[in-house]
Structure 1
Amino acid sequence: MTSPHKPDNWRTSTRSQNGEACVEIGRLPHGQAAVRDTKDRQQGFFTATAAQWRDFVHAVKTDRFSA
C-alpha cells in the first residue's frame, strides 16, 4: 500500500542497539503505519493499515516468527 502523505515522526524501536540496521516506523493519517529501512531511507517506505499493523505487532510479540 502507498500513501500520498509522508510521515515526519519517524522512530526506531527502543530495543534498537544503535539506531542502524533496523527499521523505522512513522504514523500516517487514519492510523496507518509507514515502515522504512534505516540503511536506505531514500528508497521510500511502505504502509500498512491500522489493522494490518496491529496484527503484525501482535505476531511479533507472541513469537509467531520464531524459528
Structure 2
Amino acid sequence: MPERVTRWRKSSRSMNQGACVEVAFLGGDAVAARDSKDPGGPALVFARRQWTAFLGRLRDGR
C-alpha cells in the first residue's frame, strides 16, 4: 500500500512571518495542527467537530 502524504496548509493571512499554525485534514473525522517553525515536531489532532467549534470561538472573539 502506498504511503499517504499529509498536505499541510498555512493561512493566507500569515504573510510569511514564520510564526504560523499549519493545518492538515487527515481524512475521516481528523484535523491536525502544528507549529510551522517545527514541521518535524509534534502535531495536535482533533475531531473535526472540535476543530470547527474552536474556529467558531476564534471568530466570535472568545
- The bucket for the TM-score relative to the shorter chain is 0.7 to 0.9
Q: Which residue of 2 aligns with 1:3?
A: none
Query: 1:1-59: CA deviations, max 9, x gaps?
Result: xxxxx762110011111151111000112131110101111113110001100100000
Provide structure 1 residue ranges, at least 5 long, that are not aligned to the other structure.
1-5
Larger strand share, 1 or 2:
2
TM-score by length of 2: 0.82
How big is the alpha-carbon RMSD for the aligned residues of Structure 1 and Structure 2?
A: 1.6
Contact 1:36-1:44 within 8 A present in 2 as well = yes
Give, as a single letter, the amino acid of the residue that structure 1 aligns with 2:53.
D
Amino acid at match of 1:14: S
- TM-score w.r.t. length of structure 1: 0.77
Residue number in structure 2 paired with 1:18: 16
Summarize the Cα distance change of 1:19–1:11 in structure 2 as closer, same or farther, 3 Å threshold: farther
Q: Percent identity?
A: 34
**Aligned residue number for residue 38 of structure 1:** 36
Any gaps of 5 or more consecutive residues in structure 2? Answer: none
Give runs of ≥4 in structure 1 deviating > 3 Å: none
Higher helix share: 1
